[in-house]
Structure 1
Amino acid sequence: MSPKSSHTHMKRVASFREAWWRARRKAFLDIRYRMISVSISNSERRPLMDNYIGMDAHSSICVFSIVDANGKEVNQAKIATNGQLLVEYIRSIEGSKKLVFEECELSAWLFETLRGEVDELIVCNPTRNQQYKKAKTDKLDAQNLARLLRGGFLTPVYHDGSKTEHLRALMSGYQDIVDTGVSIKNRYKSLFRKAGLPARGAGLYDDSSLLENLSRPDQRFIGRGFYRLLETLEKEREQYIVAIRKSSRAFPEIRLLKAIPGIGDIQAAKIVSQVISAQRFRDKHKFWSYCGLVRHRMESGGHIYGSKRSWGNRILKCVFKMAAQTVVRGENEFRAYYDELRLKGTSDRAAKNAVSRKLAAISLSILKTLRPYDETRIMPQTEQAR
């Protein structure tokens, strides 16, 4: 073959190869275009899946279970209790996302961390879910929560992530100090009772020399330890009071509540920190039930089987009950209301309960309207005592 014909042959081969690659590239682009078109059309026909996510939260690990709209479990996961890892897992889920977990020590932090990552977040009341629980494992708990969320059978616990929840945390710490002090006082007092000595009055906790009346050295040693603990707790309690009063300046409703007889600085802060938003209570009856200040009648088949106390907020119940005990010992409009009920034959206990509900109703009204306390609104008419 001559050099000229060889050169012509190589040019033809190169031209053929170029045409072949050009045709192959065009075919590849056509196939890719069709795949994109099919993917787009399929996504238009099939909407993103609804995800009902149940989470069983613990200090070290969180267990997830995801069910679809048909109740079928589609995913499970165990994620370390780390904010970034939890957010990344939630973001990896495609479609609408509804998340639920039970109220616990982590709930406030989890709420702030995850509420922006889902379409709906519910913190539910664990005491209301007991009737649905049988076998107990983290996996089954998460799965059960997801299915209860899908069915709409959960009772939510109110969270809003506002500064009021920070006040609630402060009040919770204060209550822990008070509860610990009460426990130690009871044990301190029992030392004197065991020795056959009188153990009454607040002066028992103010005079350490009374410990010398204990005959046994071991009891005196234990008593001195309790006394030092009580002194330390009292100093901590005073520091909490200073911090609470400082934080209360950001809440004008606390100042308004303090005008109610029987409601002081701490009680007003407790009310605001527990209620958070008064608008979530439709009327005073709902608020009374939330505070555990009413009884619910048990009725079936036209027969009344008695009544039972509703589950309620123990902190608010204590605030209004203690405030009622205070006001009926003084000279004020609430005492006049109490006396009127007693004259009509109402028992002492029922009359004090009615005063508690009156205090709660007025507190709710002030929180809703932010109007100052008006003593003339207490006795327009006598409500039925229970």
Structure 2
Amino acid sequence: MDTKYMGIDVHSSTCSFCVLDSQGIELDHRTIVTNGRLMIQYLQSFGENVMVAFEECDLSSWLFDILRNHVRSLIVCNPVANAQYKRAKTDKLDARNLAHLLRGNFLHPVFHDGSGREKLRMLVSGYDDTVQESTRLQNRIEAIRRRSRSPEVTTHAAFVLKQFTERLRQLERMKDEYQRELETQVKRFKETKYLISLPGIAYIQAARIIAHVIDPNRFKNKYKFFAYCGLVRHRRQSGGRDYGTTRIFGNRSLKCVFKMAAHSALRGSGSMRQYYDALRQKGLNDNAARNAVARKLAAVALSLWRKKQLFNEHMILNGLPVKG
């Protein structure tokens, strides 16, 4: 049976579909209201041998859940990786471009499995947005207080400062509610007890790890996980010349989790501090040693989750050189 390749440009109100056959000939193009029942009916009109692709967006988890049982394969792809193929920008062209990339096997998939861990991501995202807005508002309040020292802006600044202060109190209450809900929800997952046994990892950090990783076995090795977390730098070379290093696209939330966990773990005198001291003795500067500690925490977190083990200080100490 001839395989059909379908690209979908997803929006909150409508979705644009483009369908190609195995020869790359366009069979149909249509715009449909973003309604699960109507979209499934359209998919089923092309039979069972249909491959579908759409880009990661706010609706991707919902769309993945309703479509995955009605197609041969479903790819949620990374829009950043697709940017190099885009020229003109319309919904029809975007859908057609996705269909051609799917047919040529050029798409970079984003992991989805529809599990409860993936649904936890929405709660984590809401908490992170609240924290960011609270931080931004605190910075604006501080800036207004500095400006209000000038007599000509004092009256207006007092009014704005009052509004911002009330909003900040609301955000702080929201943040507390998010934290309580996150702690309640994350305790339902068995891997939480393994993750919180790590130095610098509490319930909120464990929730972030679970929500973004979802399945630890999807990473071939720890180095793939480092890249996903944005904890590595890649060397840039061309024509035999070295142009330094650069960081590739990574998960900022996980990068923040392991960086802050490393910062917290180094305050004590445990195994992570000893690991840091050993790196410094080898000649690494402070920044490089802290980055190495963050990567070590990420590697151990992945290992604990896979093996269902609690953290033990000897996991780190056994790899350190013995002092004579």
3-state DSSP class of the match of 1:116?
Answer: coil
On the 8 A contact 1:83/1:113 being kept in 2, the answer is: yes
Select which of 297, 313, 319 maps to 2:251: 313
Distance 1:239 1:94 in 2: 47
The equivalent residue for 2:300 is: 362
Displacement, 1:109? 0.5
Q: Which amino acid aligns with 2:289?
A: A
Q: Which amino acid aligns with 1:51?
A: K
On the 8 A contact 1:56/1:101 being kept in 2, the answer is: yes
Distance 1:217 1:276 in 2: 51
Distance 1:79 1:49 in 2: 24
The 5-angstrom pairing of residues 112-261 of structure 1 reads 112-196=65-149, 216-261=154-199
Q: Which amino acid aligns with 2:186?
A: S
On the 8 A contact 1:49/1:95 being kept in 2, the answer is: no
Does residue 90 of the first structure (1) align with residue 38 of the second (2)?
Answer: no
Distance 1:94 1:73 in 2: 16
Cα RMSD after superposing both structures: 1.8
- For residues 331-351 of structure 1, the C-alpha deviation after alignment (integer angstroms, 9 at most, x for no partner) is 211111111111222111001
Displacement, 1:95? 5.0
The equivalent residue for 1:322 is: 260
Normalization by structure 2: what TM-score?
0.95
On the 8 A contact 2:36/2:66 being kept in 1, the answer is: yes
The equivalent residue for 1:333 is: 271
In our comparison, the structure showing a higher alpha carbon Rg is: 1
Q: Which amino acid aligns with 1:74?
A: L
- For residues 211-259 of structure 1, the C-alpha deviation after alignment (integer angstroms, 9 at most, x for no partner) is xx99812211111111111111111111111111111121121121111
Distance 1:244 1:315 in 2: 15
Distance 1:49 1:344 in 2: 60
Select which of 46, 51, 76 maps to 2:4: 51
3-state DSSP class of the match of 2:317?
Answer: coil
Distance 1:160 1:184 in 2: 36
Q: Which amino acid aligns with 1:71?
A: G
- Which structure has more relative contact order (CA 8 Å, sep 6+)? It is 2
Displacement, 1:281? 0.5
The equivalent residue for 2:25 is: 72
Q: Which amino acid aligns with 1:126?
A: P
On the 8 A contact 1:214/1:220 being kept in 2, the answer is: no
Displacement, 1:129? 0.4
The equivalent residue for 2:226 is: 288
Pairs aligned (count): 321
On the 8 A contact 1:56/1:62 being kept in 2, the answer is: yes
Distance 1:174 1:186 in 2: 19
- For residues 257-295 of structure 1, the C-alpha deviation after alignment (integer angstroms, 9 at most, x for no partner) is 111111111011101110000000011101001001011
On the 8 A contact 1:192/1:214 being kept in 2, the answer is: no
Q: Mean alpha-carbon deviation: is it higher for 245-254 or for 302-311?
A: 302-311
On the 8 A contact 2:75/2:109 being kept in 1, the answer is: yes
Q: Which has the higher helix share?
A: 1
On the 8 A contact 2:48/2:71 being kept in 1, the answer is: no
On the 8 A contact 2:276/2:289 being kept in 1, the answer is: yes
Q: Which amino acid aligns with 2:126?
A: G
Q: Percent identity?
A: 47
The equivalent residue for 1:29 is: none
Distance 2:190 2:238 in 1: 46
Distance 2:208 2:101 in 1: 32
Does residue 372 of the first structure (1) align with residue 317 of the second (2)?
Answer: no
